[in-house]
Amino acid sequence: MKTIQLNSRPVGIPKLSDFKFVSEEQEKIADGEMLLKASYISVDPYLRGRMMEGKSYIEPFELNKAISSGMIAEVMESKLNGFSKGDFVSGMLAWKEVQVSNGEGLLKVDAQKAALSSYLGVLGMTGLTAYFGLLEIGKPKAGETVVVSGAAGAVGGIVGQIAKLKGCRVVGIAGSDEKVNQLVSEFGFDAAINYNTSENMTQAIAEACPNGVDVYFDNVGGEISDGVMMNVNRFARIIVCGAISMYNATSVPMGPRVQPILIKNSVLMQGFIVSNYMEKFGEAIPQLAKWLQEGKLTSTETIVKGFENTPQAFIDLFEGKNKGKMIVKI
Amino acid sequence: MKTIQLNSRPVGIPKLSDFKFVSEEQEKIADGEMLLKASYISVDPYLRGRMMEGKSYIEPFELNKAISSGMIAEVMESKLNGFSKGDFVSGMLAWKEVQVSNGEGLLKVDAQKAALSSYLGVLGMTGLTAYFGLLEIGKPKAGETVVVSGAAGAVGGIVGQIAKLKGCRVVGIAGSDEKVNQLVSEFGFDAAINYNTSENMTQAIAEACPNGVDVYFDNVGGEISDGVMMNVNRFARIIVCGAISMYNATSVPMGPRVQPILIKNSVLMQGFIVSNYMEKFGEAIPQLAKWLQEGKLTSTETIVKGFENTPQAFIDLFEGKNKGKMIVKI
């Protein structure tokens, strides 16, 4: 069985040669363990950070060891209470076709209740990231204007839809006309901006947000965010969720200092990771599931087939080749 | 009687020629008004922002009109209920030796209870800014490390002392050895850094804060703050109170983008102005007065004498010539 390891730490945009496929002998399970077969692998921009050395909120990946991310796996064999052959589990797992687990950090998921892949998306870390970032930090009020960058990405699309459910005017920023059209026609955004064809982001945001920006859910950072910052209202809340525009930077990214804007308008900027809200996952998942069942949340996925295509799927994130959640189906 | 008007909008560091002295005839008071004689004028870095054109949280000063700031004045004559000759009042007033007021926004202050100038300092906007920024945004917990920039300035000295009262390790940043020594010996800071003699702020902060930085009260912005940002702990809170290092900038100040640090460590940055907390002034002022009376808060003032020296006192703020609160005594 095959595993995908980190071959070298990427410099700039990751390359296929930063990954390697290694064959390993299949391990045997002991009492209290189970054997898992990978079903779906979630590839996410934040993994880029773990490929670098240095202190972060989670340990960096080690060279010549398997990469890990959110995955759905099927139980092949179990000597672990509560897990039986044929069950599906969700959690952080290694990029291995088959692996042994003691069940730590894994949740059983119900393939009858929702599509398995949705446990990596709307009902998984993606949905929870959107939910807690927007509601706990952004605290949007009906009638306010919410701007989302990376709006056609996995988290962004859900953020915008939840903001609409809360009665806000929602403006998305994405990288193609196709994405921008989808945001308005399928996801119900009030307006959307193609940053690749907008010459002046500050002006484009001003036109799309005649009452200014109250909440900004930022997945990208960089010049797109500079344009949004020029339009924030007094007491605006900026949710700093991701900075995909900087993840491949090879020097410290520079930009306009934000402090004068924060002071002038009493603005809040808050970085977060979804696990900060772990205690509240139990209240959020049923709410997200309810919205999904009621058709109030539309989930978009880009499904790539084949374990061997996992590294390329990850690399494609940085060119925005995904619409919604990027998932590898094994 | 004389008034000080804005003669031209400063470019870079304000110059004396940006101000002008104009003689005006003394106004007569009508019913519901009183005549005030200036006693003390507070000069503050934030006034620099009001000298520029453009939208801010308060209106810009108009050219050829009197500048205004926090002042203490004495009632010379009154046809206004509640105010009598010999009373002292505090509030936003014009830079005029004598002026007419209807009392709006003015508070009577008691010259017996505390030195009049302290109503501009510890018991005024300065103390309230320190109090609310630190306690409402910073929420320091005993044992945490609090870093204050502009620590020998009006707000910074009070911030550090309140943080000590809350049981924190307090590290100040200031611009001379004399100031640094005063912070430790008079104000009880645990350590202080002279940014003018520190070659590497990131390293200087790391050495002064072996457990990292939990709360950063930022009065200055710029490279000093970049060094602090490199040392923030998970869940750090950054109070963005002032950015004196940027107030005289003639182009948009650039620096390392903060978003990656905010995400990595789930950091909060919050800009504010003291009037956001106006509803709570009534609880804060007695607390500040109590600490002052008990000797738990030491207030430092730099008193400049003479109405005619007001513009120069303001200009001197940007070279750090003040220790503590800069006040002009008429």
Contacts of B262 in chain A (CB under 8 A): 240, 269-271
- Work out the mean pLDDT of chain B and round it to a whole number: 94
CB atoms closer than 10 angstroms to residue A139:
14
The predicted structure's pLDDT at residue A326 = 94
Which of B255, B259, B268 has its CB closest to that of A268? B268
Contacts of B218 in chain A (CB under 8 A): 259
CA distances from B87 to B35, B75, B125, B166, B190 (A): 11, 5, 20, 36, 41
Contacts of range A59-67, beta carbons closer than 8 Å, 24 or more positions apart = A61/A6, A62/A6, A63/A5, A63/A6, A63/A7, A63/A8, A63/A9, A64/A5, A64/A6, A64/A7, A65/A5, A65/A6, A66/A3, A66/A4, A66/A5, A66/A94, A66/A95, A66/A96, A67/A4, A67/A5, A67/A6, A67/A19, A67/A94, A67/A95
Side chain identity at A69, as an amino acid letter?
S
In this prediction, what percent of chain B has a pLDDT beyond 90? 87
Collapsing DSSP to helix, strand or coil, B20 comes out as strand
Q: Cβ neighbours of residue A167 under 8 Å, at least 6 residues apart?
A: A141, A142, A143
Rounded Cα distance, A241 and B263, in Å: 6
Rounded Cα distance, A215 and B262, in Å: 17
Q: What is the dihedral of CA B217, B219, B225, B231, to 10 degrees?
A: -10
Unique residue bearing structure tokens 């996801």: A187
Which of A242, A259, A273 has its CB closest to that of B240? A259
In this prediction, what percent of chain A has a pLDDT beyond 90? 87
Condensed to tens digits (0 to 9), the pLDDT of residues B40-73 reads: 999 999 899 899 887 666 789 999 999 999 999 9
Taking CA–CA distances from B244, the nearest residue in chain A reads: A260
Q: What is the DSSP letter of A222?
A: H
Which of B240, B263, B266 has its CB closest to that of A263? B240
The predicted structure's pLDDT at residue B246 = 87
**Kind plus residue range of the DSSP H or E element containing B88:** strand B88-94
Rounded Cα distance, A104 and A29, in Å: 15
Joined together, the tokens standing for residue B109 give 């202050």
Q: Looking at CA atoms only, how far is residue B115 from chain A in angstroms? A: 30
Q: Cβ neighbours of residue B319 under 8 Å, at least 6 residues apart?
A: none
The predicted structure's pLDDT at residue B57 = 62
CA distances from B31 to A31, B26, B34, B78 (A): 92, 16, 8, 8
Contacts of A272 in chain B (CB under 8 A): 263, 266
Collapsing DSSP to helix, strand or coil, A218 comes out as strand
Q: Looking at CA atoms only, how far is residue A305 from chain B in angstroms? A: 31
Taking CA–CA distances from A242, the nearest residue in chain B reads: B263
- Work out the mean pLDDT of chain A and round it to a whole number: 94
Do B29 and B35 touch, CB atoms closer than 8 A?
yes
Distance of CA B249 to the CA centre of its chain: 19
**Per-residue pLDDT band at B90 (split at 50, 70, 90):** very high
Tell whether the model's pLDDT for residue B215 goes beyond 90. yes
Condensed to tens digits (0 to 9), the pLDDT of residues A176-224 reads: 999 999 999 999 999 999 999 999 999 999 999 999 999 999 999 999 9
Condensed to tens digits (0 to 9), the pLDDT of residues A292-315 reads: 999 999 888 999 999 999 999 999
User: Which of B263, B272, B276 to probe the A interface (max A CBs under 10 A)?
Assistant: B263
Question: Is this complex scored with an ipTM above 0.85?
Answer: yes
Contacts of A266 in chain B (CB under 8 A): 57, 270-273, 276
In this prediction, what percent of chain A has a pLDDT beyond 70? 99
Q: Across residues B93-117, what is the average pLDDT? A: 94
β-pair type (B268-271, B232-240): parallel
Condensed to tens digits (0 to 9), the pLDDT of residues A73-93 reads: 999 999 999 999 999 999 999
Q: Do B221 and A260 touch (CB under 8 A)?
A: yes
Q: Do A263 and B270 touch (CB under 8 A)?
A: no
**Per-residue pLDDT band at A56 (split at 50, 70, 90):** low
Collapsing DSSP to helix, strand or coil, B191 comes out as strand
Do B222 and B253 touch, CB atoms closer than 8 A?
yes
Condensed to tens digits (0 to 9), the pLDDT of residues A246-296 reads: 888 888 899 999 999 999 999 999 999 999 999 999 899 999 999 999 999
Least confident of A146-155, B14-23, B43-52: B43-52
Q: Cβ neighbours of residue A204 under 8 Å, at least 6 residues apart?
A: A193, A198, A227
Q: Across residues B185-199, what is the average pLDDT? A: 96
Which of B57, B246, B264 has its CB closest to that of A259? B246
Do B247 and B222 touch, CB atoms closer than 8 A?
no
Q: Do A273 and B255 touch (CB under 8 A)?
A: no
Domains of chain A in sequence order: 2-120+300-329 (3.90.180.10), 125-275 (3.40.50.720)
In this prediction, what percent of chain B has a pLDDT beyond 70? 99
User: Which of A226, A244, A262 to probe the B interface (max B CBs under 10 A)?
Assistant: A262
Q: Across residues B102-106, what is the average pLDDT? A: 93
Rounded Cα distance, B98 and B270, in Å: 38
Which of B257, B266, B276 has its CB closest to that of A272? B266
Rounded Cα distance, A90 and A79, in Å: 18
Least confident of A51-55, B171-175, B321-325: A51-55
Q: Do B259 and A276 touch (CB under 8 A)?
A: no
Phi, psi (rounded to 5 degrees) for A75: -75, 120
Do B260 and A254 touch, CB atoms closer than 8 A?
no
Nearest CA-CA partner of A301 in A316, A320, A323: A323
